[in-house]
Homo-oligomer: A and B are copies of this chain.
């Protein structure tokens, strides 16, 4: 375990994230231009989808349905547990609790990728259909949490001077037609249709450069996470604990579920990382638009400055170790 952790710390990916944090802390002007950030994320998501699609073209449907159901179950459970814990133990009001729960009910694509790379580097790659699961986990949690938030807020009369509520159809559309969803699902379909032969000529671009691009991307994520570190005091000790313990709980749950439905060690570990991760791309605008009473400082700081680094540095090796332990007969 210790060895694995050390290996994880010394990968260029983790170190680039650390460099981004350091850069921000010493108030460097280092920052990826906003448009470059968008472009790299388009690349990463499309590459992810393509690769998944090509591998899916080998997979039997019969392999996929049980993990898919497990993933959907996680999409329902994780926002509920998050909401309950935040309300009950954290004493957050309904809007804030729902806003945070929406983030922990969804998923971070970069955490997913990092987990996949980690499993690969341990010689136990995850299944080819994992990107399909990623798309399944992205949106349900957000909708469930927003629904709770809307219901509770109106009951609590918090929403007295709130703008007219947005039609649900609009929120659903926004997430399903969001950039990341379109790229992931679109990439899956393209990869599936072209198969390995069609994929060959674009492989040097989409696969050969993947880790390098991810290194640059994580550098910027480090800068962004560090920009929120100053808010750690504002969010308080409870949310810091939540941002570490909730992922461990969700991660462990998901690893067990993955194991139960017959996934490999690598697959269960990656599923664990997915469930443990908190969204910082899809969830924030959806929550801001629909639940403006929720304080963005809470959900952004928890998701980006606590849970993301925790998973990257320690969570992923942890879920992997647990999956391996389970896989070796517990």
Contact = CB atoms under 8 A, between A and B. Distances in A.
B12 A216 contact: no
A12 B219 contact: no
A202 B215 contact: yes
Interface in A19-35: 19, 22-23, 26-30, 32-35
Interface in A169-215: 173, 176-179, 181-183, 186, 189-190, 193-194, 198-199, 201-202, 204-206, 208-209, 211-213, 215
Interface of A: 10-12, 15-16, 19, 22-23, 26-30, 32-36, 38-39, 42-43, 46, 50, 173, 176-179, 181-183, 186, 189-190, 193-194, 198-199, 201-202, 204-206, 208-209, 211-213, 215-216, 219
A257 to B, nearest CB: 30
Given A36-B36, A204-B212, 19 more contacts: A11-B198, A12-B194, A12-B199, A12-B201, A12-B202, A19-B189, A23-B177, A26-B173, A26-B182, A28-B178, A29-B178, A30-B182, A35-B36, A36-B38, A43-B216, A46-B219, A204-B204, A205-B209, A208-B208
A205 B211 contact: yes
B216 A211 contact: no
A42 B32 CA distance: 8
Contact of A190 (B19, B39, B198, B206): B19
Copy count, this protein chain: 3
A245 B183 CA distance: 34
Contact of A202 (B26, B179, B212): B212
Contacts of A42: 30, 32, 216, 219
A183 B215 CA distance: 13
A144 B24 CA distance: 27
